[in-house]
Amino acid sequence: MDFIKNRFKFYSVAVFTSAIAIISLFVLPLNLWIDMTWGMQAEYTYNGNIDIKDISKIVEETKKDIKFNDKELINTISAYKVAGESKFIVEAWLNKIDNLDTVKLEELKTTFKTNLWKNLITFNSSISLEKYQNIWESFWAYIKQTAYVTLFLTIIFISLYIAWTFRGSIEWFSSFPFAAVTIITLFHDVLAALGFYLITSFIFPEFKVDTFFITAMLTVLGYSVSDTIVIMDRIRTNIRNKLNKKLNFGEIVNSAITDTLRRSLFTSLTVFVTLVAMFLFWPVSIKWFILAMMYGTIFGTYSSIAIAAPLLYDISWKK
């Protein structure tokens, strides 16, 4: 395949996916987990068998009594079993209520915890509270702020490292195009993965945006740039090997993509198959992270092969 000749088709796909992602960011609500909504999480153990539907009913009934100014404090409840263990987890997301100060909020959360414990014990005396997490409002504000800063700085510093690595490697070739391409492709990968994850989480509410999701985005950056560097290094090698020949730069770039195509596809396929296996058989609590990684692997592989090298060809003015 001539990647240079068909590069504008590849660009169109990238622009289309980025546009969908941007629209989803502005249109779809963020389906946040409790660590980003100052909510609560409680982990319980039990003996024998328990129907999680019965637990959900108890939790729903309990939350109706926790009110402030006639408005229910708790917005959404999630109750699910831990695979392979005699445990279940209850998660609660809170409503934004005007004039509710922090002291009263914590008092209501404690009341819910206590009432739920009493109702569960009445239902099954073997149920025991193992772990309780109470997320403060300030934690979400901190995570939100640091997430944007961390992602931005990661992209910038990776790009600066690429510019430093490729500096002076080719006498007449600036390292700026390598850094610029890295910024563009990494931004595309994170944006596309984020947008399509939000769409998935809107359709399937069990997929939340949490701190693990931010970790997944940072992991995507590292994975994507490693594949991009392989292709860029092959371009540099091909230029060095063919400086005494009159070859079009497009031919050199296309040759570099072709030379590394099998390696890129096989590596990505191996990672993707592993992620699918983890998604199907690992605990529910980590599925959000794995799904984000799956999207990142798809878009990262596409950008490394179909966007990075052709974009380098255009940014370098086809020298």
Q: What mean pLDDT comes out for the span 255-271? A: 90
- What whole-number distance in Å separates Cα of residue 226 and Cα of residue 233? 11
Residues 147 and 238 in one domain: yes
Domain boundary among 75, 99, 134: 134
Question: Which tokens hold the place of 68?
Answer: 């402030």
Residues 113 and 156 in one domain: no
Higher pLDDT, 141 or 297: 297
Residues 125 and 146 in one domain: no
Domain boundary among 118, 134, 150: 134
What's the predicted TM-score (pTM) here?
0.76
Phi, psi of 5 (to 5 degrees): -65, -35
Q: The domain containing residue 117 runs over which residues?
A: 39-134
Report the CATH number that the domain containing residue 24 is assigned in CATH: 1.20.1640.10
Give 199's pLDDT tier (boundaries 50, 70, 90).
very high
- CB contact set of 39 (below 8 Å; sequence gap of 6+): 33, 91, 92, 93, 94, 135
pLDDT at 319: 55
Domain boundary among 102, 134, 166: 134
pLDDT at position 236 over 70: yes
For the ranges 145-149, 227-231, 301-305, the maximum mean pLDDT occurs at 301-305
Q: What mean pLDDT comes out for the span 165-184? A: 80
Q: Could you tell me if residue 1 is inside a domain?
A: no
pLDDT at position 11 over 90: yes
Report the CATH number that the domain containing residue 127 is assigned in CATH: 3.30.70.60
pLDDT at 264: 87
C-beta of residue 30 within 8 angstroms of C-beta of residue 147: no
